[in-house]
Structure formats: C-alpha cells, structure tokens
Amino acid sequence: MKQTIASLLRTALYNLSHEGTLTEDQIPESILVENSRDKSHGDLATNIALTLAKQVKMPPRQLAESIISRLPSSHHIVDVQIAGPGFINFFLNASSQFEVIGSILAAEDSFGRSNFGQKKRIQVEFVSANPTGPLHVGHGRGAAYGATIAELLKAVGYSVHSEYYVNDAGRQMNILAASVWLRYLESHGESFAFPSNGYKGAYVKDIAANLTEQFDEAFKHPASEVFKDIPVDEPQGGDKEEHIDALILKCRELLGEADYLKVFNAGLNSILDDIKDDLGEFGVHYNQWFSEKSLSEDIEKALAKLDASGHLYEKDGAIWFRSTDFGDDKDRVVKRDNGDATYFASDIAYHLNKFERGFDRVINIWGADHHGYIARVKAALEALGLNKDKLDIKLVQFAILYRGKERVQMSTRSGEFVTLRELRSEVGNDAARFVYVTRKSEQHMDFDLELAKSESKDNPVYYVQYAHARICSVLRKLNDMNLDWDKQKGLEALSMLEHEAEKDLVAQLNQYPEVVHNSAVNLEPHALTHYLRELASNFHGYYNSHKVLEDDARLRDARLTLSMAVRQILSNGLGLLGVSAPTHM
C-alpha cells in the first residue's frame, strides 16, 4: 500500500511540474511514506511537502494543498488531510487493506521479496575466525548475523556472494603447529612444561593423536633437544612471545620444511573441517572459503601499487604504509625487517582482490575487537584509488554466555571455552539463530541459556514458532470436524472481519514487505525478529479472544483466511532468519 500511495504522490508531483510549480529534476527518486503513529492521524503519512518546500519556494502547507488537489482518485483512499506544518495524512479504505491477504496467499514464499537491489553484486564476509580452534559462542553470533544479512539482501534483489576468509598463514597458525607437535611429543613419553602461549585445548591433543596414527614416531625428538637454547617462558621470568617463537623455529629446524608442513596441515585441516561442519549444521553456508595463502602474488601487487604512488617508506629495516595521510592514528608496518608481510599487508591484498572481482559493495562482519582495523583498511583502499565508501564494516559484539548467574569464560588459547556446537546441542539451532539476531550487532548481548530452552512467551523464538504451529493445529481441528477451508470464499468474506484485533493483524501484514526491505538495506535483522514477535503476540491474543472455527461458514472462512496469511508471513520471516517453522509443538 505504501508503494501505491508513493506512486499517487509521484503522479501529483508530475502534474505540478507540468504546471510549472516545480521541475521534474526536483521530484525525488523515492518518496517516503510511513505508518502513522496515531490512528487519529490516518493510516499512512508523508513529509514530501516539507522536504520540497524550500526547493520550490512555497510554504509547506500550501504545497501540501497543491499536492492533494492533484492526486489521482483511488478507491484505496477515503480521506486525505494536512497535519501540523505540512504532513499529508492518508485514511485508507478498510477493504483495500484486506487486499494484502490475497497477495500473501497468492505469492506464498515470495511475498515480501523485491528486486530493489537490481542484481547488484554484494560480497558478505563473516566469521573468518582463525582456524586455531573450534568456534565458540561468540563466533556463533557473527555467523547468525552474517548468514541472515546475506539472506535479507538476496530477498530484496541483490546478488550475494558469501565468503569465509581462512587465515591459514601467519604466526597464529605456526603457534598451533608447534602446539600440536609438542602434544605429539608428550604422547610419545616426552616430559616438559607446555608453553604458556601455546594452544592448550583438548582438541590439540586429538590432532596430535591422529598424527601418531598416521606417522607413528616419525616426528619424535627428545625434549632435551627441543628445548635446548630456548628462552625461558613467562612463568619463569621470561617472555612468552620469545619462548613460543623460538619453539616454532626449533620445530621447523628439527622437522624440516616437508615434515613441518605435515604437522601444520594436520592442525589446519582438522580444525577447518570442524568449522565447516559446525557452520553447515548451523545452517550457515558460503559461496567461497578464501585462503590467505593464495594471496602471495596479490600482496606483492598491492604493495607495489602503494609504493608506486608514494604511500610506502622504509624505517628501521621495515616497510611502512603512510596510513596517517588518510586519517589513521599512526602509520602501519606492511613488511617486517625480516621481509615477512604482516597481517595488515594480507588484509590490504584481500580487499584489493575483492574489488578486482567486481563487487559493487563489500560488507565485512567483524568481531568488536577489530574496531581498530577499520581506519587502516579504509585508508589502504583510498591509497589504492578505490572507493572506501563501498566497504561497509559491521562490528558484532561477542555474546556472553550465562549458566544461571555464572558467567562462562572463553579463551581458545587456554581451551576454557564453550563451543558453538555445545551451545547448539543444548538449546538447538533455531533458538541460537533467532536469539543471536534479536539485538543490534554492535550491542552487548547476554545469552540466557535457560530462557532459550524455555517453553514460554518470554522465549522469543518459541513464541513465534508456536504461533505458526498453532495455526497449523487449527487446520487439523477443522479436518477433525469434517470441514474444509474455502480460500476463495474466505477472501470474498474478509469484510466480515470487523474487530480491531483483526484490523490490527491486517495492518501488520501490510507492513511486512517494508520490514524486510528496511532490515536488509540497514543491515539490521533485529527489526525482523521484533516484527515477528509482535505479529505472533497479536495473533495469540486474537486467537485467545476470538473463535476462529466459527459456526458461521463465511465468518469461519474469513478468519481462517486471515490466519493462513499470518502463518505464511511467520514462515517467510523465520525462513529469512534461518529458523524452522514447525507444524507441531
């Protein structure tokens, strides 16, 4: 209905342009039509007269009067009024509001979708956790948010390419490889103090055990040889970083590059396979798993471009990027004094690679701890001659898990964490997917395990799913009564729905396409969860106070038709969230 009103307003503005009141160039591409907050002010409203008044040099109320007088007639509208400084309020024909029910039942799963994005290509990169350990509940929030954003963007007509950036190179992966090798040595009887900066999770021991199955004692060396000339660790008064880095070098020296690569790949492949399985079971899928290792040529190309344009310089043997020229708080190292490229150099190359693949827009979904990376990455894009405004970065606060009143600490290095798989096992995929996106991504989230498992109206996903299942149960009851629902007769009898609760439900159904659109373009799936909760709540209230399976056949068909439209919207919305719409509960 909003699109219909916007179209009528556009026609009125064109009529005014033909009269010389304004020019066609002054007619905006999109005309804002909103729901009225107060029913006494009508059903829909626009501020178009206020936004155009200055351009056309006319008082807003006078312009509003001119617009109204040029509006084409429409059976959808019973009255149009001017309010306040120049708002135009529309009072709609109640019967026209009911037209959405037929549209919903005809379109089914496609209702609410649009071609707004016109197939423009968007890349959405999310999760991208280092493959140094299983995903924990914090990563789960980024996974749910990213997957939902991708689905919403598809729903409004964009061509979406979802991607996981696999950090399969660099220091953290070398720490993992050294940790696996040390656990392997332990399993073969060697005794030593495990490095404080190594990965200590039980999964590392499992990887080491698999190494033993494949290679037996092929990688064994005595601890005395391994730890000879290694700097002392932090607990003994040393530096934990120097200690682990020295162990990495010793590992590579003793094993040789070929065997070191076997240990390295054993850790990488085991954890990456686990991550892929975990996310797949969570309903999160990617078009591409992009390897950092594949960027070696891209790194050199990106740095060469920056160097050619004068944005690199040498200092203390390292190569620096002048990111302060583009608003960053300090310059950044892109190559260390040993010639190794930094993580930031890889990030520069990866983003250059993204834009060279022809995406119209790039969306990065990062953990909140990456806040400091935003300025430097955008600085690099600008220095490379790319449009930094085509990169959107959304930060996701890690969810904090509570068991009762006790907060659970998480750390992939220490191994003391709750995995996403454990969370899913406890509360289920549906609850996790829904709860994760009930708040803005940048807002703090406490994940209440007990609430997520409860069967109450306080549990948002249960309440929404129950509304869907409840409508399905109505059809089963109808069948038990040896009666049928006649959709066509129901559509013809919608004028019998005169209660305010019924009109409110219809008004909410009319809002669904706008909710999907806004959730997608604003990257805010929480708006959709709030809409579904309110729709479910209103349906439960309606069902509890009104007899859907009325004795009067026409009224029964009308109420069933309304209920089936509600069921379809609940199903469509839950589908976009990656949540099931059960028929029984």
Please tell me the predicted confidence (pLDDT) of residue 411: 55
What are the angstrom distances between the C-alpha of 287 and each of 159, 300, 309, 572?
12, 26, 34, 23
Mean pLDDT computed over 109-125: 96
Q: What is the pLDDT of residues 485-506, one digit of tens each?
A: 999 999 999 999 999 999 999 9
Q: How many CA atoms lie within 13 A of 503 on its CB side?
A: 12
Q: Is 535 exposed, middle or buried (0-12, 13-18, 19+ CB in 10 A)?
A: buried
Cross-strand partners of 361: 122
What are the angstrom distances between the C-alpha of 136 and each of 139, 244, 266, 498?
5, 24, 21, 50
What are the angstrom distances between the C-alpha of 477 and each of 286, 398, 472?
41, 44, 9
Please tell me the predicted confidence (pLDDT) of residue 292: 96
- Residue 59 has what DSSP assignment? -
Which residue is it, tokens 């496609």? 110
**Threshold 0.85, pTM exceeds:** yes
Query: In this prediction, what percent of the chain has a pLDDT beyond 70?
Result: 98
Q: What is the pLDDT of residues 44-82, one digit of tens each?
A: 899 999 999 999 999 999 999 999 999 988 888 999 999
For residue 58, give both structure tokens.
């006319």
Structural domains in the chain plus CATH codes: 2-92 (3.30.1360.70), 171-270 (no CATH), 456-576 (1.10.730.10)
Mean pLDDT computed over 262-285: 97
Q: What is the pLDDT of residues 400-449, one digit of tens each?
A: 888 767 786 655 445 456 789 989 999 999 999 999 999 999 999 988 88
Query: In this prediction, what percent of the chain has a pLDDT beyond 90?
Result: 80
- 547/556 Cα distance (integer angstroms): 8
Please tell me the predicted confidence (pLDDT) of residue 235: 83
For residue 23, give both structure tokens.
């020019």
- Residue 147 has what DSSP assignment? H
| Strands 318-321 vs 87-92: parallel, antiparallel or unpaired | unpaired
Which residue is it, tokens 């009224």? 555
Q: Are 525 and 578 in contact (CB under 8 A)?
A: no
